[in-house]
């Protein structure tokens, strides 16, 4: 897949609730995910199984009330960015939070090899 194909598929998957389904399709097996801050398990997660675990944690912890996902913004031929604005409810506490983040995705060999998330800490 080309950078633009991957970027469009990532955005479509996020908009349509297919994020987890897309992991096997557009991520490399050894992909790295990097958070802006340590959420209790380190800032970096290595490997597709680890990234799937992050998605499972999110799904078990939060209910998305509404979300806005930008169109992808390519940067050269090896990366793109996407912005996310999400209103989510913590399933345990009921607290509703507005979250905004920028995600930068690095692509090589037709797959996402690294994702980096930027948000206020």
25-38 pLDDT, tens digit each: 999 999 999 999 98
CATH code, domain with 55: 3.10.450.50
pLDDT band at 121 (very low <50, low <70, confident <90, very high): confident
- Give pLDDT, residue 40: 75
Number of domains the chain is built from: 1
pLDDT at 39 over 90: no
Q: At what angle do helices 19-26 and 48-61 cross, to 10 degrees?
A: 170
Q: Which domain holds residue 77?
A: 3-118
Q: Residues of the chain with pLDDT > 90: what percent?
A: 92
CA distance 63 to 71: 23
Q: Which helix (H) or strand (E) holds 23?
A: helix 19-26
Q: How far is CA 33 from the centre of its chain?
A: 8
46-86 pLDDT, tens digit each: 999 999 999 999 999 999 999 999 999 999 999 999 999 99
CA distance 107 to 1: 10
């Amino acid at each position: 897949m080309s950078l633009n194909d991957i970027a469009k598929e990532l955005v479509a998957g996020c908009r349509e609730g297919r994020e987890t389904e897309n992991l096997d399709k557009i991520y490399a097996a050894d992909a790295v995910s990097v958070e802006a801050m340590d959420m209790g398990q380190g800032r970096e997660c290595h490997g597709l199984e680890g990234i799937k675990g992050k998605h499972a944690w999110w799904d078990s912890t939060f209910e998305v009330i509404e979300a806005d996902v930008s169109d992808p913004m390519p940067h050269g031929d090896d990366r793109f960015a996407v912005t996310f604005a999400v209103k989510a409810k913590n399933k345990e506490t009921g607290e509703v939070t507005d979250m905004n983040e920028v995600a930068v995705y690095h692509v090589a060999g037709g797959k996402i090899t690294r994702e980096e998330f930027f948000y206020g800490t």
